Amino acid sequence: MALIKSVAKIVAAFVGQFKRVQILTQAVPLCFDVMRLNSPIGWILLVIPGYWGFIWCGGTYSVALWITAGAIWARSLGCFYNDWVDRSLDAKVTRTKHRPLVAHPPSWAMVGLAVGFFITGILVFSYFLPLSCILIAGIGLLGTLIYPWCKRFTYYPQILLGLIFNLSVWMSPCMTGAPFSWGLLVLYIYGIIWTVSYDTLYAFQDLPEDVPAGIYSLALKMGPKKGHKILGWLMAVRFALLFVLLMGAGSIAFGGKPAEWSAYIPALFTVFSQWNMWRKWDLSVHTNCAEYFRYSVIEGAQVCLVLISIGKLHLKWYVWLLDLVG
């Protein structure tokens, strides 16, 4: 009888542990979805300003890798926190009512995985990166904590998003010790306007349902017709800043090589392609706004090409490869 009781206790303990493992295995893919690790467009938009700063300042391949890792980490945690705070609002909007945290309220296992991911990132980045990078990341984290509450009380959450999303411009100079240049400030301002523009486009998708849901945004403030004009003017300001970079690239204040005439070719191509896209926008057709939003990734990549053509990227790809191997 004692033997049977002992075996029963062992089996019960095993079953209990198995249930815990099963709960964890169910939480992992759900956590993966909540953090949008299967949807790269978000972290690509977040990392592009970091690449602008990297191309402007130069550096080894490891700088670009750290910027990429930081963008994926920050975006993942930002999505988890935003969805957790907004799950009651998301349930009222067609596009977001099927998000994982609406259908599956966060479990302790999921929260534990997210907190573990967050703490691991902090420890790794704090150990390997300079204090200035940690301080910039801290400012971004503070803005991330505030962001989901802004859309409840103000029409301008996109401006806060622009301020925090483009902080990665400053990561490369902090890691490489490159001196401050006005070119970096111009890139940061360009990025803020760029982010405000594409996130406003993103908000136009849900415009009919945002009012009853109590969600505020620049899209709601402007409306489709006025929004089209304002976003066009913001695009013009961005491209004016781009040509300021080209014309001032060779000055001591901007800290770079003079821009060759060939650098103006990709800049003009960027202006033409984006302007041609803007002409076709119809913000009253909310289903098309996701397509307009995705085109912002192309603009970010085009700006990278313009910066490379200025001569800011000193290391070639084969030097990176040799650095990796050796």
Closest CA to 206 of 321, 68, 92, 63: 92
Instruction: List pLDDT tens digits, range 295-321.
Output: 899 999 999 988 888 865 544 444 445
Contact 309, 266 (CB under 8 A): yes
Distances from the Cα of 41 to the Cα of 37, 86, 295, angstroms: 10, 20, 11
Instruction: List pLDDT tens digits, range 40-56.
Output: 888 899 999 999 999 88
Question: Where is pLDDT greater, at 181 or 140?
Answer: 140
| pLDDT at residue 237 tops 50 | yes
pLDDT, residue 198, reads: 94
Q: Kindly state the average pLDDT of the residues 203-225.
A: 87
Distance CA 97, CA 91 (A): 4
Closest CA to 153 of 90, 93, 220: 220
Distance CA 305, CA 300 (A): 9
Question: Where is pLDDT greater, at 212 or 104?
Answer: 212
Look up the pTM and report it: 0.84
pLDDT, residue 11, reads: 40
CB atoms within 10 A of CB 251: 13
Instruction: List pLDDT tens digits, range 241-293.
Output: 998 888 877 676 666 666 777 788 888 999 999 999 898 888 888 888 888 88
pLDDT, residue 23, reads: 45
> Which domains are seen in the chain, by residue range?
32-325 (1.10.357.140)
Structure tokens at 217: 């945004």
pLDDT band of 19, cuts 50, 70, 90: very low
| pLDDT at residue 27 tops 70 | no
Dihedral angle computed from the Cα positions of residues 160, 161, 162 and 165, in that order, rounded to the nearest 10 degrees: 130
